[in-house]
Structure 1
Amino acid sequence: MDMVKKLPTRNEIGEEFKWRTDKIFSSNDKWEEAFSKLKKEGEELKKYAGLLHKPESLLAYLKESEKIERLAESIMVYGRLKSDEDTSNTVYQGLQNRIDSYLSELASINAFFVPELLSLEEGYVEKAIKMQPELKMYTFFLEDILRSKEHILSQKEEELLASVSDNLRAPHNIFNMLTNADITFPEIVDEKGEKVILTEGNYQSFIKSKDRRVRKDAFLALFETYGKYRNTLGTSLSASMKNFVFKAKVRKYKNALEASLKPNNIPVEVYENALKTINDNLHLLHRYMRVKKKLLNVDKMHMYDLYAPLIDVPKENIEFKDGVELIKTALKPLGEEYLQIFQEGIDSGWIDVYENKGKRGGAYSFGTYDNMPYVLLNYNNTLNDVSTLAHEMGHSLHSYYSKKNQPYVYYGYTLFCAEVASTTNEIILIHHLIENEKDKNKKLSLINQELEQIRTTVFRQLMFAEFEKITHEAIEEGKSLTAQEFSELWHDINVKYFGEDMVVDKEVDMEWARIPHFYRDYYVYQYATGYSAASAFATSILNGGEKELEEYKKFLKSGGSAYPIDILKNSGVDMTTPAPILATMNRFKELLDLLEEL
């Protein structure tokens, strides 16, 4: 009788492979105590309303607000991590929902701050800093608020908007619960002829299988399942985009794109230039598809062939501890200090390693100023999982350096910078692997892996970004978007990006429905800009010396102490020009040349 492989339950995972959430709160009761304290202390912020014209009150508010925000973040992170351990656990769903709701209430309490600050006389902040020197630390923070004056509403309007923020997150929450807890995928038969329940976690392995039948079966099972929920998923995505457009209009931005970029002082041209640069270089992706089709020796290349290994090399089974050692060897150019912090994270419980039943799919790094930068993985012993670990630990060490070198107010780095440190780790890892591989087939495989990194992180994410721009603009023009429109647009964009050597199967038309980042407005383009900046850093570190490493560490330590464009420029990478993306395109071409030569 065929046995079906099943995911382990949470209790069946060894404790050494689980993150240490007890370092935030030792129990749910401690969480409840902290939550009660938060609600009580949060009310105290109301007393500062109407008093910000007094420099001593402004300083007192900033200090009190920071204390409360830090407590709220710890409570929120604990709820999120515990909920993600098992998304079907209603206890932790409840914790997360309660803190999410209260954060909206807390935002409403704080809603007086920005409008009141903006209502004060011209030059007040400068005078206040002279009278209260402790305010000097907040100069960039306060000046940034003043710069946004035209987009800030009245106090009552800000309170109203804050009070419905939890409701505005509903489409994202619905998407998460539907895709992580409710949707179940069918069984497929793996390479060994064994029945396996398909999940988002193991799909990544099956779609890279050498067995074309397995790839196709996994592909069809995944997207046909999403197709059954097409109307719900189409409605949730459309509602989410409408929320972005609504908030942009309310805050008097020209459109949702400007609303996303302008608060971080990123010119809209950076986004538009990235799309133009990638469209100008689609011939390189088309060439890659031709090469891939030839090496795979297929008459027609389908979407389920996209991730297939080009070179027939033995599948490596890389245990977690071995993956850690491989990364540490590769990252030696980042210095002994970096490696010591990396190992500290492994030893002290930053990481939740393996997939279990109900666990949130994918991977992320998430923490607060007062806690560890936790990492969620779904490690499945592949080289790709090793790369994911390097990526997420790049995020976590970025957070670590930022926390050690910045006050709380500047600890959080922007989304624009968020993917740089993580991707720098990935690039250094793959360069190490390629450079040290002697076996021809394995070297070809690694070259292809770096090609895939660029394809998935630059080409693919900018394809996503183009989809976002078109759909947001359609909603801004008053058009209605349903699952049908999303699917038609997704199909057309895939045809344009992959060229005539790719059969764009109708099933992939539903792929938009499984992209969680579409619920964070205009986020995905930053993977591409981040990769390009990371490539520049990696090249300078690998080809340089101590000076180049210190420039990179300066970036890691900067947090959010300046605008992201300036932080990168101060460390030698200018993202206002097309140069970083063009340099990445040149690297893609070099790798294609190597692939065809070997």
Structure 2
Amino acid sequence: MAIIPLALGICPSTVRSFRNSHAVQASVSNFNTYSDFRRVHMSQLTKRSEVPQEHRWKLEDLFGSQAEWDREHALLQQLLAKADQFHGKLNEPAALKACFELEDDISLHAERLYVYANMRHHEDTAEAQYQALSDKAKKLSVEVSEKLSYITPEILSLSDDKLDAFIADEQLKPYRFTLQEMKRQKAHVLSKQEEALLAQVGSLSRAPETIYSMLNNADMKFPKIKNDKGEEVELTHGSYIQMLESRNRDVRRAAFEAVYSTYKKQSNTIAAALSANVTKNLFYAKARKYPSTLEMYLYGDNIPKEVYTNLIGAIHKHLPLMHRYMKLRAKLLKVDKLHMYDLFAPIVEQFDMNIPYTEATSIVKESLKPLGEDYLNAIQEGYDNGWIDVYENEGKRSGAYSWGAYGTHPYVLLNHKDNLNSMFTLTHEMGHALHSYYSDNNLPYRDAQYTIFLAEVASTLNEALLMDFMLKKSNDPKEKMYLLTYYIDQFRTTVFRQTMFAEFELIIHERAEKGEALTPQLLNEVYYDLNKKYYGDEMVVDQDIEIEWARIPHFYTSFYVYKYATGFSAAQSFAKQILDEGQPAVDRYLGFLKSGGSDFSINILKKAGVDMSTPAPIEEGMSVLESLIEQMEQMAKEL
């Protein structure tokens, strides 16, 4: 499941990932029909209480009421009271096994409490009741970390011979990989007292992200602008990209300027939050004796530093492909120079893909037929049984994600619009959900916790199959051009743009490690220069884009975004194998989904047929991109 952003002070033995009052009852009493609801929904933000039940996720499957949550919270407190009983006793297999079992029990309950509280909060971030519940859950996760923080230091105080004996012991077989991981991380685990102290400051480590999230999601308001119909509408996180997809350049420019002028007004506050997050990372890297913050974040997944730096180098090598696409996009849009607000503009005249949610669910399911009946049945189960929260409402967390807790089905948060991008978001997030579904149903709790490095593979594999399906069934040249544009833009946003984000993170951490202050001016300068490099001279890199770093929440989950690019590349390789080989490749892929976190990430991928320790998957992806651009250039001559 998705990962709770726990403090880096947590010791490695504490289960590596928890996946990051009464429930409000839906009411449609203010609307006579579903079409009335949709009409109002599309013209203004709906209150959470007015969202029909069929478009809400079913959080009652986690807890039916606040009273149930409170009872489980009390149960967890009882379990935590037992955690101290193993102090000084972890030198025998039977005691260690019992300790790990209690740790798993505690972590599973903590995960359920944390996930529910935060998903309730995400339904309406301005709702005080669930702000408080989310805060209570976060404090609880710190308490859990503190209570269990002695385990790893105590085990690692044993001799290597004793550790090797534990690893070989049959009664500890379910925890063999955990023990191997602990031994690998021995150099970065501190004394019991130091681990306890780091666990106690866990709440402080979350402060930058919490402050940014509240400012960005709950407090920040954008001005009204005129839409395509000349109507004044309030700009929101959810509607911004939709405005950038307008055929009217004035609408695109107005949306772009409105968003970034708003962020500029908050630049000092957001720069302080981001700088605090980087400072926190430097503190933990130094405390845990890592050479750098980058290596600290890669170490958990056992990813060599070269995977990160080689990605940046490989994308730099292929930047001429992106510059070539920028030139083609300007030509098709019939503008002298492309601007940043033109990057999402439709380039096929008089062609739109309006895809209502119900149609999107059908198309997604049809496109995933190559993965077999079992996979399709699981997708349908998600559609029918309250996995998905569909539409934007007032105060709802922006963006999309898949999350959940072990022992309950996964959940998906969307802010769906009736367009192609939202359909791809649906299949993306259902890819995450099905990864968790297969992992949880085939592995014990501890081994089911897959890494973020693996997480983006399943989601982008679904996108690749959807695009292949859409291109093959299309006979309309304009539609094919539209789809090619969309697919190339996926490379632009998922590989090139995320790599640019990754490079930005690396630069600002390196600057901070050298003692430089991360002022708004420095952040603007670094970010603007990167945009100039990545987009090239074929377009106007508008000055306003310098503040875009302030809009990116992923920077508070540090050194994460590169995994979108590596995951996308691995998914391209999987998709090719599945479409070319059929069932043998499907079996390998489903085996990958069922492997969870039972081995190191690179090993799991390699067993399934994708070797990310080499640059080959990225190079293969770039050859696909070049082919797509060539097709688009040829079609541009014919349209």
Give the distance between the partners of 2:450 and 2:271, measured in 1 at CA.
32
The sequence identity of aligned pairs, in percent, is 45
Q: Does the CA-based 8 Å contact 1:568-1:574 persist in structure 2? A: yes
Give the distance between the partners of 2:281 and 2:163, measured in 1 at CA.
31
Q: 1:301 aligns with which of 338, 342, 346?
A: 338
Q: 1:55 aligns with which of 65, 80, 93?
A: 93
Q: Does the CA-based 8 Å contact 1:189-1:196 persist in structure 2? A: yes
Equivalent runs, 1:446-457 vs 2, <5 Å: 446-457=483-494
Is 1:497 the counterpart of 2:534? The answer is yes
1:169 alignment partner, SS class: helix
Q: Does the CA-based 8 Å contact 2:110-2:140 persist in structure 1? A: no
Q: 1:399 aligns with which of 436, 447, 454?
A: 436
Name the residue aligned to 2:10.
none
The amino acid across from 2:114 in the alignment is M
Offset of residue 129 of structure 1:
5.9
Is 1:567 the counterpart of 2:604? The answer is yes
| Number of residue pairs matched by the alignment | 595
1:299 alignment partner, SS class: coil
Name the residue aligned to 2:503.
466
Name the residue aligned to 2:37.
none
1:409 alignment partner, SS class: coil
Q: Does the CA-based 8 Å contact 1:115-1:153 persist in structure 2? A: yes
Equivalent runs, 1:22-101 vs 2, <5 Å: 22-101=60-139
Name the residue aligned to 1:442.
479
After superposition, the C-alpha distances for 1:48-101 in whole angstroms (9 at most, x for unaligned) are 111101221111111111111111100000001000000000100101101101
Specify whether residues 106 and 434 from structure 1 end up closer, same or farther in structure 2 by C-alpha distance, changes over 3 A only. Answer: same
2:255 alignment partner, SS class: helix
Worse overlay, 187-196 or 452-461:
187-196
Which sections of structure 1, spanning at least 5 residues, go unmatched? Answer: none
Give the distance between the partners of 1:591 and 1:5, measured in 2 at CA.
36
Q: Does the CA-based 8 Å contact 2:351-2:478 persist in structure 1? A: no
After superposition, the C-alpha distances for 1:184-220 in whole angstroms (9 at most, x for unaligned) are 0111111112221100001111111111111111111
Q: Does the CA-based 8 Å contact 1:5-1:195 persist in structure 2? A: no
Give the distance between the partners of 1:130 and 1:579, measured in 2 at CA.
36
Give the distance between the partners of 1:147 and 1:157, measured in 2 at CA.
19
2:225 alignment partner, SS class: strand
Equivalent runs, 1:284-363 vs 2, <5 Å: 284-363=321-400
Q: 1:281 aligns with which of 315, 318, 323?
A: 318
Name the residue aligned to 2:200.
163
Is 1:265 the counterpart of 2:307? The answer is no
Worse overlay, 115-124 or 579-588:
115-124
Specify whether residues 308 and 478 from structure 1 end up closer, same or farther in structure 2 by C-alpha distance, changes over 3 A only. Answer: same
Name the residue aligned to 2:457.
420
After superposition, the C-alpha distances for 1:320-342 in whole angstroms (9 at most, x for unaligned) are 11110000111111111100000
2:82 alignment partner, SS class: helix
The amino acid across from 1:330 in the alignment is S
Q: Does the CA-based 8 Å contact 1:352-1:376 persist in structure 2? A: yes
Offset of residue 266 of structure 1:
0.6
Which sections of structure 2, spanning at least 5 residues, go unmatched? Answer: 1-39
Name the residue aligned to 2:187.
150
1:344 alignment partner, SS class: helix
Give the distance between the partners of 1:242 and 1:307, measured in 2 at CA.
35
Offset of residue 134 of structure 1:
3.0
2:446 alignment partner, SS class: helix
Offset of residue 506 of structure 1:
1.3
Q: Does the CA-based 8 Å contact 1:74-1:370 persist in structure 2? A: no
Give the distance between the partners of 2:476 and 2:79, measured in 1 at CA.
63
Is 1:181 the counterpart of 2:182? The answer is no
Offset of residue 130 of structure 1:
6.1
Offset of residue 121 of structure 1:
2.4
Worse overlay, 306-315 or 345-354:
306-315
Offset of residue 135 of structure 1:
1.1
The amino acid across from 2:133 in the alignment is L
After superposition, the C-alpha distances for 1:301-348 in whole angstroms (9 at most, x for unaligned) are 110001111112432322211110000111111111100000001111
Normalized against structure 2, the TM-score is what?
0.92
Is 1:475 the counterpart of 2:512? The answer is yes
Name the residue aligned to 1:389.
426
Give the distance between the partners of 1:30 and 1:310, measured in 2 at CA.
52
Give the distance between the partners of 2:151 and 2:593, measured in 1 at CA.
30
Q: Does the CA-based 8 Å contact 1:395-1:421 persist in structure 2? A: yes
The amino acid across from 2:395 in the alignment is G
Normalized against structure 1, the TM-score is what?
0.98
Q: Does the CA-based 8 Å contact 2:167-2:179 persist in structure 1? A: no
The amino acid across from 2:556 in the alignment is Y
The amino acid across from 1:360 in the alignment is R
Q: Does the CA-based 8 Å contact 1:313-1:445 persist in structure 2? A: no
Name the residue aligned to 1:21.
59
1:123 alignment partner, SS class: helix
1:408 alignment partner, SS class: coil
2:197 alignment partner, SS class: helix
2:402 alignment partner, SS class: strand
Name the residue aligned to 1:105.
143
